[in-house]
Structure 1
Amino acid sequence: MSQVAIKNGYYGDFGGSFVPEDLQQVLEYIGEQYEKYKNDPEFNEELKYYLREYVGRENPLYFAENLTKQLGGAKIYLKREDLNHTGSHKINNVLGQILLAKRMGVKRVIAETGAGQHGVATATACAMFGMECTIYMGAKDTKRQALNVFRMELLGAKVVAIDIGQGLLKEAVDEAFADLVANYKNTFYLIGSAVGPTPYPEMVEHFQSIISKESRAQHLEKEGKLPTAVIAAVGGGSNAAGAFAHYKEDQEVRLIGVEPAGAATLSKGSPAVFHGFKSYVLQDEEGNLLETNSIAAGLDYQGVGPLHAHLHSTGRGEYVTVTNEEVLDAFQTLSRVEGIIPALESSHAVAYALKFAPTLSPEDSIIVNVSGRGDKDVEQVFEMLNK
């Protein structure tokens, strides 16, 4: 994979590690283990085995012919991460990290989750590998993602609802870090997005890069050339990091990240240290965090991964916003036109594609990363549409 140069845990000016000394030692140990195993043939064979036999990779790059005809303009291809076991891209990174935790001899795993897909993937892997699992989740998110809470508990995980602040992803991350500081000797924090102090952003991008490794080869096979653009939703930024990874050096391929208008960190934020790393953060002039508002729980986050901050600041990545109304429309459109119900998070990427594809020519093609399936959101959307 061609890498944006990462030096001492930084993507350009963003990243790093700003944590207490005790925690820094733990992170350095995790970083050493990651560096030791990421190119280890035995580790990668085991990871490849589980991605193939357990997750069901590789998943299709599907030509959305009906949607393409309806919109006119560019051919639309959908990278079907929604077809993975557990229903999203999250399992790619979870398996990589849990195999690392296994080699470190850890028996207890903790994680944060917003939409619940990372929590479900973590609980799934912990069940398979016989590890104790605790998932932190904002209280507001446990209500709108009640189905995923039940799935996590069914898989044997303990779900802890955090009823402070906004009761969203940010508060879940806060609690998970507090747990890690208190229990670092026997606990592995399995971060779900490309955020946090180093080595987590690079590690998550590395394990998610399977998305673009596959899509690049698949698109070349189908079209004989690279896509015009790759479009992915951005909250913390793990699915987009994976979707962009193998195209970063291909300057002719536009990398387009889509944020919620109500949590547009890159559009409206400013650089600051947040959750142990430097990136763009939604804050006021005094440095107080601003409230976020997105119908997608997985994107309700005041920060963004340092990779995206770097791609944004250098102009290599383009970051746009869509409204909740546009997302709801995209959720319904893809369902009706292609028979694919996308997650509300993924619907952000679809929503932008609905506007973007008609501006291009039929010679162009775009890849939309369908990062997850929409089963978890159907009840929420039902209620919203019937209000």
Structure 2
Amino acid sequence: MSSRTVDPPIGAGRFGEYGGRFVPESLVPACEDVERAFRDAWGDAGFRAHLDHLLRVYAGRPTPVTPALRLSEELRVTVLLKREDLAHTGSHKINNVLGQALLAQRMGKRRLIAETGAGSHGVATATAGALLGMPTTVFMGERDIERQALNVFRMRTLGAEVVPVSTGSRTLKDACTEALRHWVTAVDDSHYCLGSVMGPHPYPWMVREFQRVIGDEARGQLEMIPDFVVACVGGGSNAAGTFAAFLDTPARLIGVEAEDGAAVTAGSDGILHGFRTRVLQDAEGQIAEAHSIAPGLDYPGVGPEHAWLAGTGQARYVTAGDADVVAAVHRLARAEGIICALESAHAVAWLVNAVATGEIRRGATVLLTLSGRGDKDMATLMEAT
């Protein structure tokens, strides 16, 4: 295994052969402006202090690490839950959004643009927009609007404009495409607040840095290094933020994808939304549709750092199916009184199955990031149960 690192990507935003910046010429200056602004801001103690202050007094950080005592007893392993579901707006998305919104203000931008699948990133962006007085436009696939009606109402209550996307599969992939197209026309006064560790450089690196507060907090809250660190992966921001603090440790890093959206394990190298990564595609290179009961994992690609970590063996990527995910939501709820998001339940489902198959042995310690809460998924769960 190669040495593990959390350094910035090399060259033009490359994690090994993945990453980069594959965008229309009209967007190259915008991406370069974001990169320059982020490098400057991230090295500015005043900017970092302002963000830390908002994360503490507004977003509710630090989030706790909760021992899952009854689930641990059932599984005969020690399960520790990093509770991003307790952050303001109900998920880890607020960490990245507050950072990008402050960066947008620093750049003199007046407006925020975002894409969303599960709605959590859209809600977080609408929240930051309301907090900072920045009009917000969120692109969301029509299919996701139907199954995430609660989060759509939350966004609109916060004053955001929600734009339905009717093309393609009408899910997260298509919302990303439309958001990028719109950014081309509005780049002078608008910042694209991308929601995960994907997109053209510097977004995969920048979002990981805004999200690494998850892993840094967790490592400081633990008395020992866990045997396993587990998180769900769609684009992969909660996993990237968690893994960042444990790359220099012996912990086994496990990213859990949707069974029918497993870009790392079932995809091949390709370019999507401005970056090179592992994507689901056919023999002609046409992007295939992903499926997941969790709309936040319904994406045919993965962040380039995850593709790189998988290729180097620094992290392992596995899958969980819809039926096991629904069962995992109920099991965690009844054991611990915590209803997690369907996205997070992928990690729980893999944990349960890994214990059953002996991959995780009795007595092991597992840190599992609960990236969000399950309020948004109640309608889906009622239909699936």
TM-score, scaled relative to structure 2: 0.97
Q: Return the alpha-carbon distance in structure 1 between the equivalents of residues 289 and 190 of structure 2.
A: 31
Residue 354 of structure 1 deviates from its aligned partner by 1.2
Spell out the pairing of 1:177-196 with structure 2 (5 A cutoff).
177-196=180-199
Alignment-mate amino acid for residue 13 of structure 1: E
2:376 alignment counterpart: 376
Q: Does residue 3 of the first structure (1) align with residue 1 of the second (2)? A: no
Alignment-mate amino acid for residue 189 of structure 2: N
Q: Does residue 235 of the first structure (1) align with residue 239 of the second (2)? A: no
Q: Return the alpha-carbon distance in structure 2 between the equivalents of residues 356 and 228 of structure 1.
A: 13
Residue 324 of structure 1 deviates from its aligned partner by 0.3
Asked whether the 8 Å contact 1:260–1:348 carries over to 2, the reply is yes
| CA RMSD, Structure 1 to Structure 2 (Å) | 1.1
Worse-matched range after superposition: 360-369 or 111-120: 360-369
Residue 356 of structure 1 deviates from its aligned partner by 2.5
Cα deviation code 1:302-347 (max 9, x no counterpart): 1100010000111111000111000000010001110000000000
Cα deviation code 1:196-252 (max 9, x no counterpart): 0000000000000000001111112xxxx20101000000011100110111122x1
Q: Return the alpha-carbon distance in structure 2 between the equivalents of residues 168 and 380 of structure 1.
A: 15
1:33 alignment counterpart: 37
Q: Return the alpha-carbon distance in structure 2 between the equivalents of residues 32 and 357 of structure 1.
A: 46
SS in 1 for 2:245: helix
Q: Return the alpha-carbon distance in structure 2 between the equivalents of residues 209 and 5 of structure 1.
A: 13
Q: Return the alpha-carbon distance in structure 1 between the equivalents of residues 355 and 243 of structure 2.
A: 18
Asked whether the 8 Å contact 1:194–1:205 carries over to 2, the reply is yes
Residue 71 of structure 1 deviates from its aligned partner by 1.3
1:226 alignment counterpart: 225
> Structure 2 residue aligned with 1:202, among 181, 193, 205?
205
Q: Return the alpha-carbon distance in structure 1 between the equivalents of residues 320 and 372 of structure 2.
A: 18
Name the % identity.
48
Residue 39 of structure 1 deviates from its aligned partner by 2.1
> Structure 2 residue aligned with 1:54, among 58, 64, 67?
58
Residue 384 of structure 1 deviates from its aligned partner by 1.9
Asked whether the 8 Å contact 1:14–1:306 carries over to 2, the reply is yes
Asked whether the 8 Å contact 1:357–1:366 carries over to 2, the reply is no
Q: Return the alpha-carbon distance in structure 2 between the equivalents of residues 5 and 181 of structure 1.
A: 26
Cα deviation code 1:101-154 (max 9, x no counterpart): 011111111000000000000000000000010000000000000000000000
TM-score, scaled relative to structure 1: 0.96
1:266 alignment counterpart: 264
SS in 1 for 2:260: helix
Residue 292 of structure 1 deviates from its aligned partner by 1.4
2:302 alignment counterpart: 304
Q: Return the alpha-carbon distance in structure 2 between the equivalents of residues 21 and 287 of structure 1.
A: 22
Q: Does residue 257 of the first structure (1) align with residue 262 of the second (2)? A: no
Segments of 5+ residues of structure 2 without an aligned counterpart are none
Cα deviation code 1:41-71 (max 9, x no counterpart): 1001100100000011001101101001011
Q: Does residue 137 of the first structure (1) align with residue 144 of the second (2)? A: no
